[in-house]
Chains A and B, each alone.
Chain A
């Protein structure tokens, strides 16, 4: 985790902060969801608790903490308690693998009377060389939280809801994995940093040795893989059990699905897991298809030089540039999270057989077609 004490400290604090970022985003997202849905449905949302109703979720969390501790009579206690904890882990592990800003370099500086050496700080929890494959692996462990919750409740309807939710989740994992293959064909690497670096500058590609380019469009992945991006977005909706795919946890179906018997903070932890998965899906969409943390046409070296010319030191300029790119990344993620909320309150829900038909008979063939066409085009373009 680092060669000396300061580096270990920085890396540990980074890990904890990234997890807390995911946790803290949930109250904001729930506020956006409730106010946004109210706006779409032409009514007021919560607007009494705090300014613009921002403290509403804090009040809800305090209320949840004081709820009675409940385990269903025939339920298995350990599994019932373990399921919400297991629901948190895949989202957190996946989010820490995505780079949130550029790697910046710190020159030696003085701290507590000693000179700490030059560091390269990576704005990422940990940099696994295989990027997206690791995230796919960890996300597929999310099925266990559903299964444990459904079984530990000793309620037949919870179990059925959990089985249906898991069947839906694994069906759309295929389309998710396959739609990424197209992007990897274009970028030739698994690593997130080089994928983002290849999306810098203006749109340009080489065909048979000649270079074509459109100078006013950024070199983002969405222009190379529009169908892949759309398939990824739809599959991400189904993976996180969000409308229009939320039959397993809808209120008029199977009571409330796998979290029928949960109340209080345990229920809130399931929501944390669900919004965490939404955040990971948005971050992946931004990284693969929308340039990641970069501003279009601007590189971080340009901004660092500009800040240095204002008279700031090297360390301060690097840190400020990294935070600027982090803000850009979060704004892009928030746009996609708003799209999640928007779609939820616009489209009606799919029936379960329509949902499974869509996953196996529509999305999988289209993803295969996308892969084949991308492979042929890449082959012909680079001959």
Chain B
């Protein structure tokens, strides 16, 4: 029962933060609301009984990726861009049209798929412990794990190369 209350409260907070991401005109406030939604997502992972994934979500997403986003948003003075993007008839029409399209898509999907509402969906009930996760990573999917390391290396190379296009790290 407590889990039920917790879930509804966290879901409400998540919807609130996501709406905040969409509706602020300044990208910095959108990023801060996204941080809030990442933290609430971590709490929901905890409710799903995978505490390790919840902590990893906090460390990597809320603590590294979103710090990058917020840092970058703070570096720029975007008043001119904000003014161009909000207001005006065409931009408002595009926004309302897109929102309506998404709402229609979601509604139609929910209306046409009746299996999900029956409530007897089979949820995997095996407990995902850290040990079984380690077995999966290092025994069953070993090649994929090593490829992941190489992909991370590629991202590092790409980021450094991108930053050097217009004069490099010593251009300030």
The answer to whether A and B touch directly, with their CB atoms under 8 angstroms apart, is yes
B162 to chain A: closest CB distance in Å? 18
Residue of A nearest to B51 (CB): A130
Cβ of A229 within 8 Å of any chain B Cβ, yes or no, is no
B-side interface size class = 20 to 34
Cβ of A150 within 8 Å of any chain B Cβ, yes or no, is yes
A144 & B67 in contact (Cβ 8 Å cutoff): yes
B74 & A147 in contact (Cβ 8 Å cutoff): yes
Task: Mark contacts of B26-57 with chain A using CB atoms, 8 A cut-off: 1 yes-contact digit, 0 otherwise.
Answer: 00100000010001001000000001100111
Interfacial chain B residues near A166, Cβ < 8 Å: 67, 71
One of B8-16, B58-66, B99-107, B109-117 contacting the partner: B58-66
A166-B67, A170-B64, A170-B67 known; A133+B59 contact, CB < 8 A: yes
One of A30-38, A135-143, A304-312 contacting the partner: A135-143
B62 & A141 in contact (Cβ 8 Å cutoff): yes
Cβ of B75 within 8 Å of any chain A Cβ, yes or no, is yes
B6 to chain A: closest CB distance in Å? 12
B51 & A128 in contact (Cβ 8 Å cutoff): yes
Other-chain contact of A130, B28, B35, B52, B57 (Cβ < 8 Å): B52
Q: In the complex, which of the residues B55, B56, B58 has the most CB atoms of chain A within 10 Å of its own CB atom? A: B55
Cβ of A364 within 8 Å of any chain B Cβ, yes or no, is no
B31 to chain A: closest CB distance in Å? 10
Other-chain contact of B75, A143, A163, A190 (Cβ < 8 Å): A163
Interfacial chain A residues near B71, Cβ < 8 Å: 147, 163, 166
A140 & B55 in contact (Cβ 8 Å cutoff): no
Interfacial chain B residues near A53, Cβ < 8 Å: none
A143 & B67 in contact (Cβ 8 Å cutoff): yes
B28 & A136 in contact (Cβ 8 Å cutoff): no
Interfacial chain B residues near A128, Cβ < 8 Å: 51
Other-chain contact of B35, A144, A151, A162 (Cβ < 8 Å): A144
A147 to B59, CA, bound (A): 17
- Total number of A residues with any Cβ neighbor in B under 8 Å: 23
Interfacial chain A residues near B58, Cβ < 8 Å: 134, 137-138, 140-141
Residue of A nearest to B62 (CB): A141
Interfacial chain A residues near B74, Cβ < 8 Å: 147, 150-151, 159, 162-163
Interfacial chain A residues near B59, Cβ < 8 Å: 133, 136-137, 140, 177
A235 to chain B: closest CB distance in Å? 15
Cβ of A129 within 8 Å of any chain B Cβ, yes or no, is yes
B51 & A140 in contact (Cβ 8 Å cutoff): no
Interfacial chain B residues near A133, Cβ < 8 Å: 52, 55-56, 59
A134 to B43, CA, bound (A): 12
**B residues 89-141 in Cβ contact with A at 8 Å:** 130
Other-chain contact of A144, B42, B51, B57, B70 (Cβ < 8 Å): B70
**A residues 169-218 in Cβ contact with B at 8 Å:** 170, 173, 177, 190
Interfacial chain A residues near B56, Cβ < 8 Å: 133, 137
A170 to B60, CA, bound (A): 11
A348 to B56, CA, bound (A): 36
Task: Mark contacts of A143-154 with chain B using CB atoms, 8 A cut-off: 1 yes-contact digit, 0 otherwise.
Answer: 110010011000
**Sample (12) of A-B pairs whose CB atoms are under 8 Å apart:** A129-B51, A130-B52, A130-B55, A134-B55, A137-B56, A137-B62, A137-B63, A143-B67, A147-B67, A170-B64, A170-B67, A190-B130
Q: Add 10 more A-B contacts to A137-B59, A147-B74 (CB < 8 A).
A: A133-B56, A134-B55, A137-B56, A137-B63, A141-B39, A150-B74, A151-B28, A163-B74, A177-B59, A190-B130
On A, residues with C-beta under 8 Å from B are 128-130, 133-134, 136-138, 140-141, 143-144, 147, 150-151, 159, 162-163, 166, 170, 173, 177, 190
